[in-house]
Amino acid sequence: MNWKTFYAMLSRDGHVARRNLIPTLVQNLLQPMLLTFVFGRILTTSGMMKMDYKNVLLPGIIAISMVLSGVWAVAMPLISEFQFTREIEDRLLAPMETHWLAVEKVIAGMIQAMVSGLVVIPSAWLVMGKGVSLDFSHPLEFAAVCLLVALLSAAGGLTLGCSIGQTQIGLMFSMVIAPMMMFGCAYYPWSALASFPTLQYVVLINPLVYASEGLRGTLAPDVQHISIPLVLGALVAFDLVLLVVGLKKFGDKAVS
Amino acid sequence: MGIGIRIEELRKVYDTPPPSAARGGGFSFTPMRTAGPKEKKKKLEVVALDNISLEIRPGEIFGLLGPNGAGKSTTIGILTTRTQPTSGRAFIGEYDVWKQQVKAKLLIGVVPQRPNLDFALTAREILLFHGAYFGQSAKERTRRADELIEKFKLTDRADHMVRGFSGGMMQRLSIARAMMHDPEVLFLDEPSAGLDPQTRLLLWEIIREYNRLGKTLVITTHYMDEADALCERLAIIDHGKIIAKGTPQELKASIPGGYLLRLRFDRVSDELLAQLRAIPGVSEVRSTEPGATDVYADRGGTLISGIVSSAQTAGVELRDVHIAEPSLENLFLHHTGRSLRD
Ligand SMILES: Nc1ncnc2c1ncn2[C@@H]1O[C@H](COP(=O)(O)OP(=O)(O)OP(=O)(O)O)[C@@H](O)[C@H]1O
Ligand SMILES: [Mg+2]
């Protein structure tokens, strides 16, 4: 394994990310902030929602932002680099086994997901105004959930990015990402689905559920949530599957 | 010093369409959809290379010459770890390209047929990061990048994003990038496509200069003059097979006569062909299509009077004469019965 090469590729991604900092921030922050404002501020202040809905919503918003930014950061460049221009070729020719390039992309994606989680927490908190009470008394569990969610998003981005072509990006959003967000228990706790028993079990195939529930369980433990060990187990399983599938697909795409 | 290349009985059969046309590498929202088209795709088999064996000596400029779709890029793809051979083996120096990829990759630089520059970077950054991928120190890569930017006349655009570059500028930059880590073997897939005549000469000079450092160069081209001017040895590929190899001189000498006179008559009769064969200096006469005849001979223009009188004797009318000097073009024609540009 050639660490110099690996590090050079990470710094290339870092360099490009810094160059696109503002657009990336806007893209990753604007939508969650609008959601936060409408659901977490307007609906609560007007009395249509209870004030403690803020604590339900905030972890969900963090989960969505992390997952989306990680998926986006890995999948979008991959899709375009594997297209007709084959921009990735130069890096595939670097003196390193090609699967390490996929690993590098995953790590760069995890970093972006973490950064966007870190930025969203205070900004969403600010936008929601009074009445948010997050609980940071389980830092280890919180860190573990964050890491696993970041890996989930980056590995998911790798799998998606190596599975679809440029023309299918729109379709991916309406058919994969949008339903995932709606049924990802980000805007409501999983327990709220109790009155829809079938749906409650069907959504369990959606990894975002565990991201939302995990962050909720560690940041707002008073809200009813899936137990943390279960969440961690499910996240590890999803991470592994997506990583293995993503690496395989990357390998297939890398050579002709 | 100097790294050689060996190819043993290489075959490549593509059974999927090229990546640009691929429908997304197997991802599908409904599992049913994958089964149908996949079965059809299996039938789409293209034999790109059909048992090619080749030896390229350390420190030589070797040319792969052939028409579109002959398998030149596929050969380069296999030698540069980018294409997996269906069977056969390829070696760069002592390393099996497919089994010891990293070792092989350290030795090679590649200029692809289509520039694949990193569009997220500027020209200088492309060179600097490329150097970094190959483990060059910051000082070394800055020096080398400056040198190459200067050499390829990219100084005034060095800090621009490459998105806005013209085709020729991208081509120059991809050549510079391939030379950035000072590889022992440099592959150039149609390096002069899209370059203006002046830049083409500059490129030839750069190629020769690089070769003088003891480096091995493999060049593909469909320009005869380029192969003739640059390459010490050549292989002519057509339909995935090597149809001839040797030095340009050897290859040219292998054409009967050397000169090719392409003649057109209003009609061709056996008498005419016999008359033509009887002209002193003519070594071979072939009727290629109705009314057209190729005459291989050891001289050119001085045969015309003989041809005219043969035509008169045979009672046919000479319509057009084209004289080609000994060249690889004629060679190709001789071996395949087709012109390179057909
Ligand atoms: N990735 C691919 N998938 C499927 N078929 C391919 C692929 N690449 C090349 N081919 C086919 O293999 C054959 C050889 O192609 P190749 O690119 O090696 O030719 P070439 O000699 O480089 O031609 P050109 O002068 O046009 O560049 C062609 O029939 C081509 O259609
Ligand atoms: Mg080609």
pLDDT per residue as tens, chain A (256 positions): 789 999 999 999 999 999 998 988 888 888 889 989 998 889 988 988 888 888 899 999 999 999 999 999 999 999 999 988 889 999 999 999 999 999 999 999 999 999 999 999 899 988 988 888 888 888 999 999 999 999 999 999 999 999 988 888 888 888 888 899 999 999 999 999 999 999 999 999 999 999 999 999 999 888 888 899 999 999 999 999 999 999 999 999 998 8
Whether the CB of A92 is below 8 Å from some CB of chain B: the reply is yes
> Which positions 16-35 of B are in contact with A (Cβ < 8 Å)?
18-20, 22-27, 29
Whether the CB of B267 is below 8 Å from some CB of chain A: the reply is no
Rounded Cα–Cα distance for residues A32 and A120 (Å): 8
Query: Domain B256-325, CATH 3.30.70.100 — does that match?
Result: yes
Domain limits, CATH 3.40.50.300, in chain B: 51-251
Whole-structure pTM value: 0.85
CA B64 to ligand 2 center in whole angstroms: 10
Supply B266's token pair. Answer: 């209003």
Q: For A92-110, what is each residue's pLDDT tens digit?
A: 999 999 999 999 999 999 9
**What ipTM was predicted for this assembly?**
0.90
Whether the CB of B36 is below 8 Å from some CB of chain A: the reply is no
Whole-angstrom CA distances from A238 to A16, A69, A93, A145, A232 are 29, 18, 31, 13, 10
Comparing CA positions, the residue from A246, A248, A151 lying closest to residue A207 is: A151
Whole-angstrom CA distances from A237 to A105, A166, A231, A250, B224 are 20, 29, 10, 20, 59
Measured between CA atoms, the residue of chain A closest to residue B112 is: A89
State the CATH architecture for B51-251.
3-Layer(aba) Sandwich (3.40)
Closest Cβ opposite residue B23 in set A97, A165, A252: A165
Domain limits, CATH 3.30.70.100, in chain B: 256-325
Q: For A109-140, what is each residue's pLDDT tens digit?
A: 999 999 999 999 899 988 988 888 888 888 99
Q: Is A105 left (phi over 0), alpha (psi -120 to 50) or beta?
A: alpha
Q: Which residues of chain B have pLDDT under 50?
A: 20-41
